[in-house]
């Protein structure tokens, strides 16, 4: 089989490498010249565990290649996956579909034979229909089908998620399209991964409903954590207590500084807009969006309060900048608002993140001092703030940490440290919703 993937970002690259690993010939089309050049030279422009080796092996095996030439890439292809970005449109929060529609038009012009055009990007309900229209208007002579196959991979464990998914959702309307996608996903049938066939609109909405539900779960436990703090309860015990109920489940019940990243913020917002537009408002999701926004901005206040109401001229060590561990992705990371606010309050920031500092340099103030490791960041700091729960931070020795710092305040926004050990080492330790 030969397939084409438009867009070589987190989703395009991971899907492309994994489909190639399944034995399919994959061509990834990428328009960003710098990204394309580094891919061609065997360098992976993003950090995702295991991806570099998987790409390298499949390039060597001749199953995976990269190009800017969409026209050549779609010749003889059975399916074209659109995996370009769908960021929030400035001003109204709707998903910006210009990259998706742009790609669809290019594909329509370039195809010479039947192919299935599959959206892997997260797209609002109705996008598949619009792609059908664009394709028909551009190429009335062309035989094609449109399908929706939303992606559920998580950055940081993307390859495992793709190779052993909880489920695959395929929105397709003809037997021909379903057969192409069944053939492509055959290795997943063999491991009995659930593959759910639906209509196009259902598949599109399933992705948004899934992300919105997870965002609500995070937001719920964050509010429970705030309440637990006020009444002397422990949010971790509560999370365990409710999570052991099979109807609720234990995942996504970790309190923190609010959800961020390249998906949840934009997808919840887009779902709110889609629902409002059709007159079926999703008030739970609307509330989730606004509670999460105010949570992110209130996190800097926690740091300021922990230091007696001011961080003026204080040195703050920030551990972790990415929106979650095991990625270099800084998009919509809570660190962006927390660090900017602290700088606004005239704090001096010494930051360390294992993978995110290159992206952070482009997005945050250049007043920040970027450090070589966690202890280097902590050296001479008055306050230490944990924003992202990278595993290597969990192993920090409290006594050593205390000995390199000038002050003794820790604000742990991910609850990664042992409060007793931190207090024994002489820290004033603040976490989220745990009982002393």
What b/e sequence results for 163-185 when a residue is b if at least 16 CB atoms lie within 10 Å of its CB, and e otherwise? bebeebbbbbbeeebbebbbebb
Binder among 12, 257, 265, 325 for ligand NAD (CB under 6 A) = 12
Residue 379 and residue 265 in contact, taking contact as beta carbons nearer than 8 Å: no
Unique residue bearing structure tokens 């899934």:
210
Q: Does 38 bind ligand NAD (CB under 6 A)?
A: no
Among 19, 55, 78, 85, binds ligand NAD (CB under 6 A): 85
Contact 321, 351 (CB under 8 A): yes
Stretch that binds ligand NAD, among 19-27, 82-90, 107-115, 410-418 (CB under 6 A): 82-90
Given the complex with ligand NAD, which of 184 and 377 has the nearer CB atom?
A: 184
Q: Which of 115, 135, 153, 224 binds ligand NAD (CB under 6 A)?
A: 153
Stretch that binds ligand NAD, among 83-91, 291-299, 310-318, 426-434 (CB under 6 A): 83-91
| Cα-Cα-Cα-Cα dihedral sign, residues 68, 71, 72, 76 | positive
Q: CB of 131 within 8 A of CB of 146?
A: yes
Q: Give the DSSP per-residue string, 88-131.
A: BPTTT--B--HHHHHHHHHHHHH--S-EEEEE-S---TTHHHHH
* Residue least distant from ligand NAD (Cβ): 9
- Min dist. Cβ of residue 243 to ligand NAD (A): 24
Nearer to ligand NAD, 144 or 152 (CB): 152
Nearest distance from C-beta of residue 11 to ligand NAD, angstroms: 4
17, burial (CB in 10 Å: exposed 0-12, middle 13-18, buried 19+): buried
| From 18, 263, 371, 430, the catalytic residue | 263
Stretch that binds ligand NAD, among 9-17, 56-64, 338-346, 354-362 (CB under 6 A): 9-17
30 counts as binding ligand NAD under rule CB under 6 A: yes
- Largest Cα separation within the chain, whole Å, is 75
Torsion of CA 201, 206, 208, 210, to 10 degrees: 180
> Which residues make beta-bridge pairs with 195?
168
In angstroms, the CA 427 to CA 384 distance is: 10
Q: Is 11 in the site for ligand NAD (CB under 6 A)?
A: yes
> Residue 263 catalytic?
yes
96 counts as binding ligand NAD under rule CB under 6 A: no
Q: Count of residues binding ligand NAD (CB under 6 A)?
A: 26
Interacting span for ligand NAD (CB under 6 A) from 5-13, 50-58, 107-115, 230-238: 5-13
Question: Which spans of this chain sit near ligand NAD (rule: CB under 6 A)?
Answer: 6-12, 29-32, 35, 83-86, 99, 102-103, 121-122, 151, 153, 155, 262-263
Catalytic residue positions, numbered: 263
């Amino acid at each position: 089989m030969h397939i084409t993937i438009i867009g070589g970002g987190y989703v395009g690259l991971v899907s492309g490498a994994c489909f190639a690993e399944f034995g399919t010939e994959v061509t990834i089309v990428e328009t960003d010249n710098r990204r394309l050049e580094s891919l061609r030279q065997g360098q992976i422009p993003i950090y995702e565990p295991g991806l570099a080796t998987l790409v390298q092996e499949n390039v060597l095996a001749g199953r995976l290649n990269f190009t800017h030439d969409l026209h050549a890439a779609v010749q003889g292809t059975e399916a074209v996956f659109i995996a370009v970005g769908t960021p929030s449109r400035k001003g109204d929060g709707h998903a910006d579909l210009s990259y998706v529609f742009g790609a669809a038009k290019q594909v329509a012009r370039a195809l010479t034979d039947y192919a299935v055009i599959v959206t892997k990007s997260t797209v609002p309900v109705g996008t598949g229909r619009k792609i059908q229209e664009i394709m028909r208007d551009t190429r009335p002579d062309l035989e094609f089908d449109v399908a929706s196959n939303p992606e559920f991979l998580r950055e940081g464990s993307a390859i495992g998620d793709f190779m052993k998914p909880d489920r695959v959702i395929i929105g397709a309307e003809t037997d021909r399209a379903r057969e192409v996608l069944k053939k492509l996903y055959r290795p997943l049938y063999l491991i009995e991964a659930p593959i759910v066939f639906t209509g196009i609109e259902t598949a599109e909405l399933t992705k948004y409903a899934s992300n919105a539900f997870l965002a609500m779960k995070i937001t719920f436990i964050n509010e429970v954590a705030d309440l637990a703090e006020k009444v002397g309860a422990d949010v971790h015990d509560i999370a365990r207590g409710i999570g052991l109920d099979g109807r609720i489940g234990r995942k996504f019940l970790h309190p923190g500084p609010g959800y961020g990243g390249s998906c949840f913020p934009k997808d919840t917002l887009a779902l709110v807009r889609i629902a409002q537009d059709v007159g079926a408002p999703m008030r739970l999701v609307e509330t989730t969006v606004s509670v999460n926004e105010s949570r992110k901005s209130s996190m800097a206040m926690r740091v300021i309060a922990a230091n007696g109401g001011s961080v003026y001229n204080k040195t703050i060590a920030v551990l972790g900048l990415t929106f979650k561990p095991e990625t270099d992705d800084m998009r919509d990371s809570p660190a962006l608002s927390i660090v900017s606010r602290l700088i606004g309050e005239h704090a001096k920031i010494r930051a360390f993140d294992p993978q995110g500092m290159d992206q952070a340099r482009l997005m945050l103030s250049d007043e920040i001092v970027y450090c070589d490791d966690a202890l280097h960041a902590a050296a001479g700091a008055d306050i230490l703030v944990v924003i992202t729960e990278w595993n290597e931070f969990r192993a920090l020795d409290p006594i050593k940490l205390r000995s390199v710092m000038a002050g003794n305040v820790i604000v742990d926004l991910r609850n990664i440290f042992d409060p007793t050990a931190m207090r024994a080492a002489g820290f004033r330790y603040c976490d989220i919703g745990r009982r002393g």
